A and B are shown apart, each in its own frame.
Chain A
């Protein structure tokens, strides 16, 4: 059984919750399982945000926030450096043999924390996700895409097709039909749709890049590697 209980920590405006939905939708598109914990309360720009996702190739029963994750994803360096998180320290509750994915272009983990993570036999993957988003998509807003791309690159739970399906569902609303049959799309909708399509394509580019990044760095999990929960 492959099972990942993920805690995502980031700040308002980074699309933490959106990417949790995309993670879940991609699993569903692959015919696998995911469960999300809905987020409530108002999101404020740069204020802490957490989202929780469970993904597996087997049915998932449990619900609620992930208190003891085996995957922690840090979308913003300030989660660690400024303590911008509901969960402090950032590795709180991490289980043995888990992984931590961090968006940062410099090593920001204090030495004492490194020691704790080593004792837990945690894998740490650090990538400059914001830089990647800026370079490839031309916007920091795709940081979340870089992060989930890396997660799927490491875990290989779904393929590109599933991810694209999830993105379409999220950004084009699933039911959006490009060729409207006999009904011509009016220009406003067409323009909006075109913009959304461009956004989608850029997001996919970012995801493809970080998936490749996982492969190039030899981070891909082998099939036999069972994640103990």
Chain B
């Protein structure tokens, strides 16, 4: 865009909504905000209708603060909890049909590559465990097999939260949920290994206990997708309602799971590793200057 379209034409400031003027002035457009400063800058998503204490909502706030180029990013989502917040962010959002995110993103990214071969246009899918690993499984996998250059983030709440708490492929074995009245009969699907096998160039698993690390992971996933190929983040974003986690224990739960099956894990191809080493060396030199 990016920036020239975000910025308000001179003389029009007084006609634009206050909210928007603040966003341009104090928001993250055109600069890299520090996620640790959240609360001191205007965020891309502020209002959302998600449940009180929802950890997915927190993750999404951090996600928007971490975008390397928010003015040139398009987010895609599908039915589920996440899109309730995604659709209210100041970043173009595509809400397609059930589980279609990775197919729509494939077409979108290709169209943008044809039309803007020399510009940065980041495409990011944020969808739930149901959308990506159940109904959209084929499209998720095939976008990776085809090496589509966009990022897929699975916000895994281990349940169909928005439809009232049904079992998903990512629910842990044995857990009793709607549509699993006798408890889930098979294991949580190993999405991270699937992503590696299917051709993702950067794969991470994270429990959102450390905002700096979330931001770094998201930034890496987006940059790697921009240059090399598909990238995937598996994020634990608990459903405090369906799993009856008291609001004040949501962070504790995330820490507990981090010690169990959501230990931070980051994997990338050698090519991507070299790229980040080079990039980080340059950034350090910049800082010294």
Are A and B direct contacts in the complex by CB distance below 8 Å?
A: no
| Residues of B bordering A, CB below 8 Å | none
Q: Which residues of A contact B (CB under 8 A)?
A: none
